[in-house]
Structure 1
Amino acid sequence: MLLQRMKNKEEEERQRKIEAKEHLVAVIKADQIFWEHEKEKKRKTDQKRREVQDAHIKQIAKNKFHAKQAKQAQLDYCRRTEDLVAEKEKEFQDYAREVIELESESTKKHIYPLVKSVKGGPGSGRGPALTNRGGLRPSYQANDFSGVQLPSYNSQGSKCNNFQKSKGRLGFTW
């Protein structure tokens, strides 16, 4: 009986070792399958991230290209507009010069309004002619309730260029 128990115990031990080995092999296989699935998921997410990143890069490049095209179109439009304004201004100047010559020769009228209208640049303002805006003369208005147009002073320098006279006139006598 003792011998039988020892055999049964050895057999149970051997069976337990075989089952433990089989269980270990099954756990290792399951672990390998799990890590393969994890690698595959990581590869797929990396691929999707790269695709999204490439799409974003393409979209950014496309937007930059369209912005550059729009800016170039705006510059072309401004250039064409300025050319058209310059051409119309030249036509007006030629026509005005003919009218002034005709009026000054034919009658003794006061031609100052005509001469003033020929003054360079369109617009009724007294401001400086803006060359980058087609020679437009802006009106400068007062920033109060009256809103009158401010005068433009064309200073040709000091009327009194003698510094000694100026000092005496201002009271500096030393």
Structure 2
Amino acid sequence: MRIRTFLLIAVFAIAGFGSSLSAQKIASVDMEKILGSITEYQDAQEQLDQLAAKWQQDISQQYDAIKGMYSKYQAEQVLLSEDQRTKREDEIIAKEQSVQKMQRERFGPEGALFQRRQELVKPIQDAVYEAIENYASTRGYDFIFDRAGSAGIIFANDTYDKTDDILRALKN
């Protein structure tokens, strides 16, 4: 009797678990494909890349100037007094600290490049996420995963890829 009751409970539990799994609707989208198809996003990325390259070139030139200062200092070091050596060393160190500060201000976690990215890219990303959220709500999806992201799914059946649907929704 006990075994039969246990088996009935197990069967109902499995049936209930299985029906709850089948009730979920899951889809995946390719965010890289979606964002890559948006001209404004591509333009923003290009603008950010150009800005980063220019700033990196400026910083490299500053470091080259520091190397020149150091080379000149090494060549003249034996001819300089103790005070002159100290003054030159301090100038080199100050210049290097200034360049490092510039690098942090431009490329740091809250730097100018990050701020510019927020201005240019975030509105586009917000529009895409809103389109995905609307798509999920109107179509009854419980989950939509980014198949292009590092935290995405390892395997996804192509029948669940709704990337083209989101692209169409963005164009409307």
Give the alignment's TM-score, normalised by structure 2: 0.29
Larger strand fraction of residues: 2
Q: Which has the larger radius of gyration?
A: 1
Larger helix fraction of residues: 2
Greater RCO, CA 8 A, separation 6+: 2
Give the alignment's TM-score, normalised by structure 1: 0.29
